Amino acid sequence: NAGVTQTPKFQVLKTGQSMTLQCAQDMNHNSMYWYRQDPGMGLRLIYYSASEGTTDKGEVPNGYNVSRLNKREFSLRLESAAPSQTSVYFCASSESGIKAGVRNEQFFGPGTRLTVL
Amino acid sequence: EDQVTQSPEALRLQEGESSSLNCSYTVSGLRGLFWYRQDPGKGPEFLFTLYSAGEEKEKERLKATLTKKESFLHITAPKPEDSATYLCAVAPMDSSYKLIFGSGTRLLVRP
């Protein structure tokens, strides 16, 4: 099993350009997430998908859109990139939402390092 | 506002020198508290989940504990391979899906 895969690994954009970050998981998980990680700020949730066909905003959704293409794939789109979106982006998946008493592990991908000039 | 604060920001230990990392949190109802390990250039890896005050979890040289205001990650006799950033996250009661992460503690264990 590959777990959670992300493409691309690195990307440089100019201000105003658009791009889509791809994420796929092969663990048959219901829930998927997009985070950004900035120095000194920890991981922040951008959007999540509780199950196929649903998406919801997280802590920092402005400037982003998402698509849950099917159960395996969850993409993140930047329509008009800004320098403030320079960050490392992580996709994650979990079996379901957080339930008391069980492991509730989120599995993370290797990340996409995005620079917006 | 829900918040997670980790201390110290960075910690240097000699191999075998035990210590503790702190995670203080304020949240309107705690659904769960999580510890992750992150190696440079990689995604976080799950370590523990704690649900209620007094709970403890152990894995090799690591032990996580939880009180009503904070969690500790105790590292006993660390080895150089324990060097990583350790992340704490809380799940507030008002969402089954949201995690609020702290900024992490960077641990370096020297041989």
For residue A5, name the pLDDT band (cuts at 50, 70, 90). very high
Q: How many angstroms away from the CA of B67 is the closest CA of chain A?
A: 17
Q: Which of B78, B68, B61, B65 is nearest to B22 (CA)?
A: B65
Q: Residue B39 has what pLDDT?
A: 97
Asked if the model's pLDDT at residue A101 lies above 80, the reply is no
B26-51 tens-digit pLDDT: 998 999 999 999 999 999 999 999 99
Q: Does A74 touch chain B (CB under 8 A)?
A: no
Residue A69 identity: L
As a whole number of angstroms, the distance between CA B12 and CA B80 comes to: 11
B79 neighbors B62 (Cβ within 8 angstroms)? no
> For A34-60, what is the mean pLDDT?
95
> For B67-96, what is the mean pLDDT?
96
Q: Residue A111 has what pLDDT?
A: 98
Size of interface A-B (CB pairs under 8 A): 65
Q: Which residues of B touch A (CB under 8 A)?
A: 4, 31-32, 34, 41-46, 49, 51, 87, 89, 91, 96-104
Asked if the model's pLDDT at residue B68 lies above 80, the reply is yes
